[in-house]
Chains A and B, each alone.
Chain A
Amino acid sequence: ETGVTQTPRHLVMGMTNKKSLKCEQHLGHNAMYWYKQSAKKPLELMFVYSLEERVENNSVPSRFSPECPNSSHLFLHLHTLQPEDSALYLCASSQDGRDEQFFGPGTRLTVL
């Protein structure tokens, strides 16, 4: 595997479900990011992790809970989501906080 991978690619869940999105980077980077892309809106940064430490939480509701167990893996735990949370969730990584970001293919999330 090369680059940034995300699983699952598609996810449909009810508002009472609990699910997790997974991101893995194979680039040796030390910073990872979660973004949300809704229709007709710019990508929104959700969380930034640098050296496995969260350095930014962009006013994201607590029903989204990130986890970065090591520099290669990033999770986004989801619970009690709302239909308006339906979007494409993109993960990215970079060598450090200033460098070019490389994106994964995204997880298309639908909340019923």
Chain B
Amino acid sequence: KQEVTQIPAALSVPEGENLVLNCSFTDSAIYNLQWFRQDPGKGLTSLLLIQSSQREQTSGRLNASLDKSSGRSTLYIAASQPGDSATYLCAVRCFTGGGNKLTFGTGTQLKVEL
């Protein structure tokens, strides 16, 4: 059974700092990995999707890496801003039956302070 762990559970940093969020998964037989952002009481916004054959993806100040063999992914946020404050969720996609299944971690709650 796939399990996804995110460390740290919570993080508070001053504005402008570069930071790294970690995600690990137990079964390396994944199709792809997706990073999401969730604001309090809201739905999920997809940030980056990395296919299993890729090593990294970049979007603006965000860079996500994937090391499938070791079961790890990192989300790097450059020059953090207060607007980056949210919960960041990592999810891996595995095949199951006729559909696909996203297994989520519990998230990292990020607070960027002025």
Q: Give the interface of A toward B (CB within 8 A).
A: 4, 6, 31, 40-43, 45, 48, 50, 55-56, 88, 90, 92, 94, 97-98, 100-106, 108
Give chain B's interface residue range (CB within 8 Å of chain A).
20 to 34
In the complex, whether B112 has a CB less than 8 A from a CB of chain A is no
Enumerate the 4 nearest inter-chain pairs by beta-carbon distance, A residue then B residue, closest first: A103-B44, A55-B98, A55-B99, A105-B43
Return B33 CB to nearest CB of chain A, in Å: 11
In the complex, whether B42 has a CB less than 8 A from a CB of chain A is yes
Contacts A42-B106, A45-B101, A97-B98 given; indicate if A88 touches B46 (C-beta within 8 A): no
Residue in A41, A48, A102 whose CB lies within 8 Å of B99: A48
Residue in B31, B36, B106 whose CB lies within 8 Å of A98: B31
Return B92 CB to nearest CB of chain A, in Å: 11
Q: Are A106 and B43 in contact (CB under 8 A)?
A: yes
From DSSP, what is the main secondary structure of chain B's interface residues?
Answer: strand
From DSSP, what is the main secondary structure of chain A's interface residues?
Answer: strand
Q: Are A100 and B4 in contact (CB under 8 A)?
A: no
Contacts A43-B89, A48-B99, A50-B98 given; indicate if A101 touches B46 (C-beta within 8 A): yes
Q: Are A56 and B101 in contact (CB under 8 A)?
A: yes
**A104 to B31 alpha-carbon distance, docked (Å):** 23
Nearest CB in chain B to that of A104: its residue:
B43
In the complex, whether B93 has a CB less than 8 A from a CB of chain A is yes
